[in-house]
Amino acid sequence: MTMPVSDLSLANQQQQQQPPHPLLVFWRSFASNRGALIGLVVIILLVAMAVLAGWISPHPPDEQYRDALLVPPSWADGGSTRFLLGTDDIGRDILARIMYGARLSLSVGFMVVIVALLSGIVLGLVAGFFRGISEIIIMRIMDIMLTLPSLLMAIVIVAILGPSLVNAAMAVVIVQLPHFVRLTRAQVINETTRDYVTAARVSGAGTLRLMFVTVLPNCMAPLIVQGTLGFSNAVLDLAALGFLGMGAQPPTPEWGTMLSNALQFIQRAWWVVTFPGLAILLVVLAFNLMGDGLRDALDPKLKL
């Protein structure tokens, strides 16, 4: 009876009032955005499709069925369940090519964003930390790169390097780089004025430690958001280059490349034109949806 009940409940209350884990807060905010959740689910499905393409694809992507040229999708007149989304002009299954194309687009897009993000972070950190001449040079070069419309810049780079998937990916990295550099620099300049950075500096942290351990983690939120949106741009640009014949070369099952000769079938085979583009739209839409959700959850300042 000596133990007062009120004390117990107070302790309980204190435990309950402990702030929830940051990750949980982030997830709640993210999950409250229905669009972002849909985007995430679509992305998971697409990644699963890409990873499992070798097992779930009904046909190999390059197998040419000479007896089945330009077969319409299964639900259309003359279609069969053998080719769910129909076949192209040399009898390849479109569904299989889209599945393998997902593998290509997602992995190359991911790589492009990672490379652009990492090099952008390094350049942005250098510009934001050391200021002075290094900043002027880096930022001027980025300005010049931003003067050209992104696709034109990519075309110029491919014209120099020659058309191939790797070169197209390189071109897209270069096109995306300025955005990451600018963002990192702006964040770094903003963060270095804060007290915690001064405190770390006073307690003897070296420049590299200040850059990567103290400041960088606090700059990550907008960079992650930009990375997600950059991913959708990368997929779009890669497909556009493929479409123009400057990216992946046939017979690679790349979505843009699949559309590059679709124009000649527009009169008689709508399915050749429709499905690869639908796949591109789906990926880009999903990543944009998720990017919007991430931005709202990670960076409330950027909320529209």
Partner 1 sequence: MFKFFLTRVSLVIPTFIGVTLLSFALIRLVPGDPIELLVGERGIDPARHAMLRADLGLDKPLLTQYGIYITNVLHGDLGRSIVTKEPVIKEFFTLFPATVELSLFAIFFAVLIGMPMGVLAAVKRGSIFDYSTMGISLAGYSMPIFWWALLLMLYFSVYLGWTPVSGRISVMFDVEPVTGFMLIDSLLSDDRGAFTSAVSHLILPALALGTIPLAVIARMTRSSMLEVLSEDYIRTARAKGLSPLRVIGLHGLRNALIPVVTVIGLQVGVLFAGAILTETIFAWPGVGKWLVESVRRRDYPVLQGGVLLIATVVMTINLLVDMLYGLINPRIRRK
Q: Which of 121, 165, 168, 236 binds partner 1 (CB under 8 A)?
A: 236
Which of the residues 256 through 275 are near partner 1 (CB under 8 A)? 256, 259, 262-263, 266-267, 270, 273-274
Whether 185 and 136 have beta carbons less than 8 Å apart is answered as: no
Phi/psi of residue 131, nearest 5 degrees: 50, -150
**Contact between 160 and partner 1 (CB under 8 A)?**
yes
Nearer to partner 1, 58 or 149 (CB): 149
With respect to partner 1, which residue has the nearer C-beta, 51 or 146? Answer: 146
Q: For 8, phi and psi rounded to 5 degrees?
A: -60, -50
203 is a site residue for partner 1 (CB under 8 A): no
What's the Cα-to-Cα distance from 221 to each of 31, 86, 275, rounded to whole Å? Answer: 17, 43, 35
Residue 289 contacts partner 1 per CB under 8 A? yes
When the beta carbons of 75 and 196 are compared against partner 1, the nearer one is 75
User: Tokens representing 35?
Assistant: 């669009």
Report the residue from 158, 169, 173, 177 that binds partner 1 according to the rule CB under 8 A.
158
In angstroms, rounded to a whole number, what is the distance separating the alpha carbons of residues 33 and 148?
Answer: 35
Longest dimension (CA), the chain: 91
- Number of neighbouring beta carbons within 10 Å of residue 197: 17
Q: Give contact residues for partner 1 (rule: CB under 8 A).
A: 35, 140-141, 143-144, 147-152, 155-156, 158-160, 162, 232, 236, 239-240, 243-246, 256, 259, 262-263, 266-267, 270, 273-274, 276-278, 280-281, 284-285, 288-289, 292, 304
